[in-house]
A = this chain, B = another copy of it.
Amino acid sequence: MYYLYAIHQTSMNKEPKKYNIAVVGATGNIGAKTLDMLVERNFPYANITAAASPRSVGAALRLSNGAEVKIRRIDDVDFENIDIAFFCAGSSVSSEYAAKAANMGCIVIDKTSFFRMEENIPLIVPEINIDSLSNSKTSPRGIISCPNCVAIPLSMALYALISGGLIINNVIVSTYQSVSGAGRQAVKVLRSQSLAILNGDNQEKISSTFPRKMAFNAIPQIGDITAPGAYADEEEKIMREVSKIIDCLSFNISVTCVRIPTFVGHGVSVYVELNKVVCLEELGRMFKRFPGMSFDSRRDYITPVEVTNCDEVFVGRLRQAGNGYLFWIVADNLRKGAALNGVQIAERLIKLDPDLYKFRQRKQT
């Protein structure tokens, strides 16, 4: 295979194409991990442009391969000369700059929630719906959205069952989410609050990062809750995004999001009702054969600490529960939950169309 490819390359008398990449929000948890992923996975980049908030501008960022990248202001990035830009800097930056960049011919892979639910903006988990990019009837807008860090592994586990020929009727989810999902500052706050408590300083630390004290606590609120009886923002995101990714609104999905004092790795406790009775072995096989997913009945489960820096989505604790089934999912929220998924999208784009023409913004004809 590789041999044929090499011949093909030679006969074309052409180097494999390389791409100009930008990472916006390069110093944040997800931006930094995106840079790591690009290097680690040998993404064919010609050069990398890193943009971040004003306080980091001018500093040099050292990549994991030793190369240095100077941090720029986003206004100084020439998106006309960028092939693919990863936006990892928060919704406000995406709202201001992503459409502009796409308009200049750059393909934006947006890690924020800003465009996720917009019609005609694809919301992509490569293992599930990358084909929708080629099949789309609408003109591309040059922006591809990357789902929420829980929505990605959860969609994959549910889609593994759908791919196995099952129909899902009802999904009940409780999450165990790490603080890295709330950004770099949140990690610092958990560290400092934890140290203070362990050192006997139980004074209430005020931190706007979390709605309550985070250290040695569990907070059943991620994002705003607008009214009593309402779902929190994060819960709404997950429910809506899973429905959009799987493109199947026939089942009910209800989510409770809880932030717990872990640094990396989101755990998800799932209950599903299916259209028929299936033995656990068969369900296990569906998880096992799904790309990017790991299921090992001999090792009953993986924990967030163990999943840190792993690419796979791990499923475990599979059990029967009345008329439904229970299982536990865990994934590195910075990798498959965010940066890895984005880089995987880019990898698929350049494979589907090395010139990226198909995916760049085009005016509606």
Contacts and interface: CB of A to CB of B under 8 A. Distances in A.
A297 B229 CA distance: 8
Interface stretch (A85-93, A110-118, A303-311): A303-311
A84 to B, nearest CB: 34
Copies of this protein, total: 2
A217 B304 contact: yes
Contacts of A219: 303
A298 to B, nearest CB: 7
A170 B322 contact: yes
A191 interface: yes
Interface stretch (A12-20, A64-72, A151-159, A313-321): A313-321
A267 interface: yes
Contacts of A194: 194, 198
A267 B257 CA distance: 12
A305 B225 contact: no
Contact of A267 (B220, B300, B320): B220
Contacts of A60: none
Contacts of A306: 212
Given A194-B198, A228-B297, 18 more contacts: A174-B174, A176-B176, A176-B258, A176-B260, A218-B260, A220-B267, A220-B269, A220-B301, A228-B280, A229-B280, A229-B297, A229-B320, A231-B319, A252-B321, A252-B323, A256-B328, A261-B261, A271-B271
Interface of A: 170, 172, 174, 176, 191, 194-195, 198, 212-213, 216-221, 225, 228-231, 252, 254, 256, 258, 260-263, 267, 269, 271, 280, 297-298, 300-301, 303-306, 316-324, 326, 328
- Across the A-B interface, the 3 shortest Cβ-Cβ residue pairs: A254-B321, A252-B322, A174-B174
